[in-house]
Amino acid sequence: MKRVSWSICIALLVYGIPALASEPGYDRVTGRALASRSEVIAPHGMAATSQPLATQIAIDILKAGGSAVDAAIAANAALGLMEPTGCGIGGDLFAIVWDAETKELTGLNASGRAPKAMTLEYFRNRGIDKIPPYGPLPVSVPGAVDGWFELHGRYGRLPMADILAPAIRYAREGFPVSEVIAYYLSRSVARIGQYPGFAETYMPDGSMPQKGEMFRNPRLAKTYEAIATKGRDEFYKGDIARKIDAYMAEQGGLLSYDDLAAHKSEWVAPVSTNYRGWDVYELPPNGQGIAALQILNILEGYDIAAMGFGSAEYLHTLVEAKKLAFEDRARYYADMDFVDVPVARLISKEYANDRRKLISPTQASKRLPAGDAALDDGDTIYLTVADKDGNMVSLIQSNYRGMGSGMTPGELGFVLQDRAELFALEEGHANVVAGGKRPFHTIIPAFVMKDGKPLISFGLMGGAMQPQGHAQVIVNMIDFGMNLQEAGDAARINHTGSSEPTGTTMTDGGIVHMESTFGSATRQALKSLGHRLGSSDGSFGGYQAIMWDEEQGVYYGASEVRKDGQAAGY
């Protein structure tokens, strides 16, 4: 394990606010990342989540004979209780699973669709030109519960009652709120605390729980129990569905019982690109995963290793590659049941070669076109688990905008998501709103294969930061030689202001947000290239990863310093 210098330790303490988690740095002489800790190594199984109690639940499930998927579901249920600022059963889910028996990599899109009544005409008739971020209107069908049961039906071993039992127990008996989550809970009150059911669920004593305070959610315990004993139909066709329907009708929302009853997840084939010998996999749209592949394809044309980690040359190239990928993201990414998204073309090497020509090495771009690819601040949780048989799951789940819409129905103990905010209200746009359509999605799991064998299951939560983060992690490992922990701890950038799938356009080049440990010389060099720099605003994501070492027969686990998380094995 590398020693962290006193100067970096001081920096970590100083710059932990407002995110309330430490910010990593790098050696300014060698450019080498300074890890917050060594990697975790274990032979029988591994779990990495953003909450230590959830990680321990996953390990307990593995020890009880559960599969990687069983443990992932158990951890996700716990996070819905313990980290409601990032996820919950009112939201959506995506996963990539490696099946060691069949040697198959599969993907699950468990995102929900817009209510049938959510049409472009509905918003136009009411003079609404942008779907609001909170309240009843941005609520789409929550897909997470169906996602659990789809995953469990194919890869589960233990009964769902056993899988959900730890979360149910913590919901009833209480758990101590961790530091980062206490901070984000307090921020949620001003945004959504006024909606019926929210305060009753999360502020039973009149205020949000503080760090270290024991918090209970008996409403969620009852909901989990109903799901565990009666199955997924209880959520989509039973009493839970009816309570959601009644609540949404009272609030003037569009989500109905029929919308819930019609929901079904979709199994999809992950797509990939090869980056210097590693096959990096993402899920196809309606998510933004292929943006990471597009960024990597563009970066592959440069000698990134020679540029050096933290150099202005590298960061400039990374930002410009991101801008190009996000222009395509704004134009093309949408529900593929409604739009013919040219995925193969977008992630091809030839297309990247064409797009790369638009990058100037001496000037930041202010505005860029989307490519001709025609065939003619949200938060999230990410977790990954691997079991003794070699199965691995990469799972991401979210409500969007932290706790979601604020709609907290029927004493059920959770908030409904506001993912439909991401629809465009522009006729002809690929992501234009339509009843039954899945909105553009930010949450993306990732996976790496090498020579046809599983290597790394990883992800990085945080809205539009995610594809940028995926690319930075891969580059850190391949081009800069970092290990699994270093790659996530290393200082990151987050470029904002690109064109968006909601219809907004980049006109001024956007803003490059940099973690504070990047040096002043690098910042000045980026400014001289025409980049506008923002402050370290805490929106740099949260990374978890597991790597399989076939030669030694062991797993490596990593959980970065910016969250409350933990990687653990047995």
Closest listed residue to residue 214, CA positions, set 268, 244, 243, 176: 176
How many angstroms separate the CA atoms of 367 and 324, rounded? 10
496 assigned to active site: no
CA angle 87, 23, 85 (to 5 degrees): 15
**Is 538 in a helix, a strand, or coil?**
coil
CB contact at 8 A, 425 and 130: yes
- Amino acid at the residue 223: T
Helix (H) / strand (E) containing 272: strand 271-275
Q: 81: Cβ–Cβ under 8 A, 6 or more apart, which residues? A: 167, 170, 171, 175, 217, 220
Token pair of 209 as six digits: 């729980």
Among candidate residues 201, 380, 442, 522, the one labeled active-site is 380
What angle is formed at CA 29 by the lines to CA 25 and CA 32, rounded to 5 degrees?
50
Query: For residues 433-467, b (16+ Cβ closer than 10 Å) or e, as one string?
Result: bbebbbbbbbbbbbbbbeeeebbbbbbbbbbbbbb
The whole-angstrom separation of Cα 277 and Cα 300 is 11
Tokens of 257: 């019982």
Residue 346: CB atoms within 10 A of its CB come to 25
Distances (CA, A) of 550 to 43, 119, 129, 455, 547: 11, 51, 53, 8, 9
**DSSP output for 293-358:** HHHHHHHTTS-HHHH-TT-HHHHHHHHHHHHHHHHHHHHH-S-TTTS---HHHHT-HHHHHHHHTT
Task: Give dist(CA 119, CA 116) in Å, integer.
Answer: 7
Instruction: State the alpha helices, DSSP H only, in 373-464.
Output: none
**What is the Rg, in whole angstroms, of the alpha carbon atoms belonging to the chain?**
22
Taking the C-alpha atoms of residue 237 and residue 89, their distance in angstroms, rounded to an integer, is 15
Token readout for 393 is: 């799951």
Please, which residues have CB within 8 angstroms of residue 48's CB and are 6 or more apart in sequence? Answer: 55, 383, 384, 385, 544, 545, 546, 557, 558, 559, 565, 566, 567, 568
Q: Measuring CA to CA, how many Å separate 246 from each of 230, 240, 241, 255? A: 21, 10, 9, 10
Q: Which residue from 96, 57, 91, 53 is spatially nearest to 74, judged by alpha carbons?
A: 57
d(CA 427, CA 448): 38
CA angle 130–133–136, rounded 5-degree value? 100
d(CA 432, CA 424): 4
Distance (Å, whole) CA 476 – CA 485: 10
Give the residue numbers annotated as catalytic, written as ranges.
380
